[in-house]
Chains A and B, each alone.
Chain A
């Protein structure tokens, strides 16, 4: 079965750029989606199909995908961006989630 690998944690200084990676075998050939989950809340879709933002998601959130790594980039990080972030792909009619990354804004 397909596996997605994310770092357990990423730290970023307030106002700087955070990058969260999602690794998988030839993941660039798949569409990657990203979710944000704040403590005590349900996940929210922030990027779909590699780089598309749903309505209501700030332009500070962007995504890219190539080779064996997909990346979620959060520009001008704010305290409110502190959350767990999960990548996800669709593989052989199965939903596959990464293990999640905790983003800390310092």
Chain B
């Protein structure tokens, strides 16, 4: 069974750093892109970026470029999302998800499956 398991909920203060994780199992971790998606309280889904663990190629949404860092350690099948200085506005649920891609005439990509989510709360 393909599965993504995320690290637990975090409570942090503004200005602190944080790194959350997403561990894949049941498939070849290095052969699929992994994406991160933010969901602020009561709001919709926002794509943050994707990483290809095979070579660490990373793409960011323009909205999140420079705000977060996405990385991966293929030796332990784990992707990461990190902040160097959190803000209250980073309070949200964060999901990782495996990206399936079809090229050529198809040229499309979709997320399946998703991790269970990591709730990040930033408050003084």
Chain B residue numbers with a CB within 8 Å of A44 are 113-114
Q: With A and B bound together, what is the CA distance between A37 and B93 in angstroms?
A: 13
- Whether a CB of chain B sits under 8 angstroms from the CB of A49 is yes
Structural contact, A89 and B108, CB atoms closer than 8 A: yes
B102 contact set on A, CB distance < 8 A:
31, 49
B114 touches A43 (CB 8 A): yes
- The answer, yes or no, to whether B115 is at the interface (CB within 8 Å) is yes
Chain A contact residues, majority secondary structure: strand
The smallest C-beta distance from A83 to any residue of chain B, in angstroms, reads 13
Interface stretch among A15-23, A74-82, A90-98? Answer: A90-98
Residue of B nearest to A45 (CB): B112
Kindly report which residue of chain B lies nearest to residue A31, judged by CB atoms.
Answer: B108
Query: Which of A49, A89, A100 meets B44, CB within 8 Å?
Result: A100
| Identity of the chain A residue whose Cβ is nearest the Cβ of B6 in the assembled complex | A42
Note all chain B residues with C-beta closer than 8 A to A31. Answer: 102, 106-108, 110
Return chain B residues, CB-CB under 8 Å to A1. 62
Which residues of B from 5 to 32 have beta carbons under 8 Å from A?
none
- B59 nearest CB across to chain A (Å): 6
Q: Which residues of B contact A93 (CB under 8 A)?
A: 59
Q: Are B116 and A42 in contact (CB under 8 A)?
A: yes
B115 lies within 8 A of A42 (CB)? yes
* Contact flag A99-B44 (CB < 8 Å), given A42-B95, A42-B114, A44-B114: yes
The answer to whether residues A90 and B107 also contact, given A54-B112, A95-B50 and a CB cut-off of 8 A, is: yes
Contact of B45 among A45, A48, A49, A86 (CB under 8 A): A86
Q: Mark A32-43, 1 if CB is under 8 A from B, else 0.
A: 010101000011
Contact A49 B46 (CB under 8 A): no
**Which of chain A's residues has its CB closest to B35's CB?**
A95
Is residue B61 within 8 Å, beta carbon to beta carbon, of the partner chain?
A: yes
| 27 A-B contacts (beta carbon < 8 Å) | A31-B106, A31-B108, A31-B110, A33-B108, A35-B45, A35-B111, A37-B45, A42-B114, A43-B95, A43-B97, A44-B113, A44-B114, A48-B100, A48-B112, A49-B110, A54-B112, A84-B44, A88-B45, A89-B108, A90-B101, A95-B35, A95-B50, A95-B61, A95-B109, A96-B47, A97-B44, A98-B44
